[in-house]
A and B are shown apart, each in its own frame.
Chain A
C-alpha cells in the first residue's frame, strides 16, 4: 500500500472490521446504523445492528480546494455548520430528516440514501459531489476509491457507486465531498397557475439565462428560486415581475419554505392517516419536460418537472406503468406496507449485473439484506 491508501485504523474501525468478519463467518445479516433517520425509506430493516456512532468527525477540510472529508457518522448538521463558516455548502441541499427521539442524519446515511433537495435540478445530485469514499466490504477489507480531487479517472469509479446504494454493497466509513461556494444572492418569486401551465413556464424560464436554482408547484402556485451573482439575481427577478407579474417572496419566508420542502415538513407531506382509504406517497422521477401525469391524487412538482410527489390510491402497477411510460420510474416514499417492492423493478439484464456486483462486494450477502430489493 502506498502513502495515500494506507488507512490507519483505530479502535472504532477495528471493532467494525471484527463485526463484519464475524458476520461473514456466521452468515449473519448486518443492518448498518447511522442516525436511523431514513428507516422509513427503502425495504424492510433486518439483521443485527452495526452501529457506526463512534465513527465520527471531520478528518480534513480545505476550503481553498473545495473539499471536505468526514467520517460516516458525523452529523450532517455539524458538517454543514463547518462549511457555512467558510461560505461553502453541499450544493445538492440534502434533506435533514429528524426522528421523534431527536436522532440526526449522518454524512454516511446521506450518501447511502442519495437523496437531494430542491437545488438538485440546477446543482447536480449527491453523486456529482462525492469525490471519494473509504468503505468496508463484506470481506472486512477497508478500501479507498476515488480521492480528494475532482479530476480523477484512475480505475473504476467505485466511489460514486456507493451513492444511493442503501448500504447493500458495504459500510461507508469516510467520504470526501466537493463543497462549492454559497451563492452571492438568492431571491424567490411566486406565480398563480395550473399544473400544465407551470411546467411550460418553468421550461421556458430555464431556457433563458435566468439563474434558476429551484422550483416547486403545488395547489396552483409555482414558486421559483433564483441564486447566483447579485446583479443577475436582482435583474432576473425584476424581469419576471415586469413580464409575468410574479410576487417576490420575503427572504426569511422563502428560506423557511424551501427548507420545509427539503426536509418534507411542508404541509403537503403531512401523513394523511385520517383519509380513508389511506393514500400512499410516491416519488415519481420522470424527464422534466413530460406533461402532467395522468394519475389520480394530489401532486407537488419539483426539479422543473423531474421529481413529482404524489399522494394516490392508484394501484402500484398503475403508478409504475405511468412513470415507465413517461420514461422514468416511481418509488414508494413513505409506505409501511409493501416494503418488499419499494423501488421500481429492474429489467432482467440489469438485475443480473446487480446480483453480480453485490456478490463482488459482499460475497456472503451480509449487508442490509432486503434494504434495496428483496433479492439483494
Chain B
C-alpha cells in the first residue's frame, strides 16, 4: 500500500480489509495466476512511463480472455471497485496510474492476432498486441499498420486507441482514429459492445471517435480491427539546414501552402541537434539553428516528383544546406538522430520531462522564443523536437530529479509551455493524453460548462464513475484551486478576470 495509508493505522487497516474482500470475490471468477496482490508483485504496476507518480493498487488482474475481462468488470462493478485499464504501461501522462482502492486491469495477456485480411486490407487483433507486431504480421502481404508512435516496439494497440496515438508519419497517414474500422469493448458492468464496423460506417451516432482517446474512462477495449496500408515502394528524406527558427518555420508553411503533404516533416532545434550528434554521429549540421527532415514516400515516380517539388520550396525558403538521401541506409541515418532524441537527452542530463502539446505550425518561432525566455525564468535548459508537419511539439525540459526545487521548477516550466500553447491557438496535448499529468492545464483549455458536458458524457457510459476515475477531466473544485494558485503566482495573464 501507499506511504500515506501506511502512516495512518485506520486507513491501513481499511485498505487491507478492502483488498481481502475484492481478492476473495475475484478469486471466484479467475484462475490462480491471474491475480497479483503482494507488494513485490504489484510494484511493477505502480506507475506507467510517467514515473514521477506512483501508487499501489489493491490488486492487479491479468485476464487471458474476454470472458475474464467481463467477469472482472462485473465483479468490480458489483462491489463499487474502480478499474484502471493498462496496456504495456508506456503511457507518458499517467493514464495507467493505479487507483489506491482500485484494481489495475492489465490487458497484456490478450495478445493474439486473430485475423489478417489482405484483400480487405484489415487486421483484427486483441488489445494487448503490440503496435509493431501488427505491421510484422501484415508484412508478408506488402501491408503495414501506419501509425508509428515512438514506443511502437512496446506499446499495445489498446493503449494506442486509449490515447489516439500518432507518430512521425501521422501527417500523411492519420492518427489511430483514422486507421481503425471497429472496436470491441466492455462497459463498466461487463457488457460487450461494438463501435464502428468493417463497413465504412455504422447506424446511429458515430461513437468510435468518442471511445478513441478516451483514456480508459468510457469502456475497456478488448479487440480492434485496424486498417492496413500498402507498404510504399520506397522513401527518400531531405535533411535541410536553416540559420534561424523563423526561416525553418516559414519553410514548413511554404511546403504545406505548395500543396505537398510529406510522409514526415520533423524539426530539431540547435541544442537538440548538438545532443543527438554527440550520440549518433550522423553528420548533422551543428551550425544550423534548426534542421528539418522532410520525407517523401510512394512509388519511384511519385517520390521523384515530390522530392523535386520539396527541394524547390526549400530552396526558395532560405535553406542553407540540403542533403537528399541516396539510399535506405543514408535515409535511416538522417532519422537516427531524431529517433534518438530521448536517449540523447538522457546523456546530457540526469532527468528530463518530455512535454507534448500542439500549436498552429506558423506559431513555432514564437513558441521557441517563449521557451527561451522560460529557460531563463526557471533556470533550466530545454531542447526541442517538433512534428513540424502537424504542429505537435515535444519540448524536453532537462533537470535533476534529486533536487526537489528543480523538479518543482520543471513542473512550472511544463505548465507554462502548455498554457502558452493554448494561448497561441493550440491544445495541451497532441498525442500523449491528459492522464494525471495535464489535469491542471485542462482547466485552462476548457470552460466549466465544457468540462461538465464531458463529465455528463462519461456518466452516460459509467454512471458510478468507476472506470479510471480522476483522470483526464478535472473537477470544478480542482480548477478553482488551480486558478487561485496561478493567480497568486502571477502565472496567468489578466489574473483579475473571472474564470472559474
Q: Which residues of chain B from 99 to 120 have any CB-CB distance to chain A below 8 Å in the complex? A: 117-120
B198 proximal to A (CB < 8 A): yes
| Cβ-defined contact, A157 with B210, below 8 A | yes
| Cβ-defined contact, B193 with A349, below 8 A | yes
B260 proximal to A (CB < 8 A): yes
Residues of B within 8 A of A303 (CB): 200
Residues of A within 8 A of B213 (CB): 153, 156-157
A270 proximal to B (CB < 8 A): no
Q: Which residues of chain A from 335 to 363 have any CB-CB distance to chain B below 8 Å in the complex? A: 343-347, 349-350, 353-354, 356-357, 359-361
| Cβ-defined contact, A151 with B299, below 8 A | no
Residues of B within 8 A of A271 (CB): none
Interface pairs A-B: 8 shortest CB-CB = A181-B259, A356-B460, A160-B209, A360-B456, A328-B199, A151-B430, A231-B301, A64-B253
> How far, in angstroms, from A343 to B301 measured CA to CA in the complex?
45
| Cβ-defined contact, B429 with A87, below 8 A | no
> Which of B239-247, B320-328, B441-449 lies at the binding interface?
B441-449
| Cβ-defined contact, B429 with A232, below 8 A | no
A48 proximal to B (CB < 8 A): no
> How far, in angstroms, from A67 to B363 measured CA to CA in the complex?
14
Nearest-CB distance from B121 to chain A (Å)?
7
Check A207/B118 contact, CB under 8 A, given A128-B178, A154-B428.
yes
Q: Which residue of A lies closest to B460 (CB)?
A: A356
Contact with A along B428-456 (1 / 0, CB 8 A): 11111110001000101111111101101
| Cβ-defined contact, A156 with B214, below 8 A | yes
Check A124/B427 contact, CB under 8 A, given A161-B210, A356-B460, A360-B456.
no
Contact with B along A178-220 (1 / 0, CB 8 A): 0011101000000000000000000100111101000000000
In the assembled complex, 7 residue pairs joining A and B whose CB atoms fall closer than 8 Å, in A order, are: A63-B257, A128-B178, A152-B429, A154-B442, A155-B434, A181-B261, A372-B205
Q: Which residue of B lies closest to A149 (CB)?
A: B358
Residues of B within 8 A of A2 (CB): 422-423, 444-445, 447, 499
Partner of B457, one of A4, A127, A147, A360: A360
A143 proximal to B (CB < 8 A): yes
Nearest-CB distance from B127 to chain A (Å)?
18
Nearest-CB distance from B177 to chain A (Å)?
7
Partner of A346, one of B177, B204, B451: B204
Residues of B within 8 A of A289 (CB): 117, 119-120
A281 proximal to B (CB < 8 A): no
Residues of A within 8 A of B257 (CB): 63-64
Residues of B within 8 A of A137 (CB): 453
Listed in ascending order, the chain A residues whose CB lies under 8 Å from chain B are 1-5, 62-67, 87-88, 114, 120-121, 124-125, 127-128, 137, 139, 141-145, 147-158, 160-161, 163-165, 168-169, 180-182, 184, 203, 206-209, 211, 228-232, 235, 285-289, 303, 306-307, 327-329, 331, 343-347, 349-350, 353-354, 356-357, 359-361, 372-373
> How far, in angstroms, from A344 to B205 measured CA to CA in the complex?
12
| Cβ-defined contact, A153 with B429, below 8 A | yes
Most A CB within 10 A of own CB, among B121, B201, B473: B201
| Cβ-defined contact, B422 with A1, below 8 A | no
B170 proximal to A (CB < 8 A): yes
Contact with A along B178-203 (1 / 0, CB 8 A): 10000000010001111001111111
> How far, in angstroms, from A88 to B256 measured CA to CA in the complex?
11
Q: Which residues of chain B from 399 to 443 have any CB-CB distance to chain A below 8 Å in the complex? A: 422-423, 425-434, 438, 442
Residues of A within 8 A of B358 (CB): 149-152
Q: Which residue of B lies closest to A67 (CB)?
A: B360
Contact with A along B121-143 (1 / 0, CB 8 A): 10000000000000000000010
Check A4/B203 contact, CB under 8 A, given A64-B362, A147-B427.
no
| Cβ-defined contact, B210 with A124, below 8 A | no
Nearest-CB distance from B249 to chain A (Å)?
10
Residues of A within 8 A of B212 (CB): 157
Q: Which residue of B lies closest to A360 (CB)?
A: B456
Partner of A361, one of B199, B218, B456: B456
B461 proximal to A (CB < 8 A): yes
Nearest-CB distance from A178 to chain B (Å)?
10
Residues of B within 8 A of A373 (CB): 204
Partner of A353, one of B207, B209, B233, B442: B207
Contact with A along B302-314 (1 / 0, CB 8 A): 1011100000000
| Cβ-defined contact, B209 with A231, below 8 A | no
Q: Which residue of B lies closest to A182 (CB)?
A: B259
Q: Which residues of chain B from 217 to 265 have any CB-CB distance to chain A below 8 Å in the complex? A: 218, 230, 233, 253-254, 256-257, 259-261
B295 proximal to A (CB < 8 A): no
| Cβ-defined contact, A343 with B204, below 8 A | yes
Partner of B302, one of A88, A125, A231: A231
| Cβ-defined contact, B390 with A151, below 8 A | yes
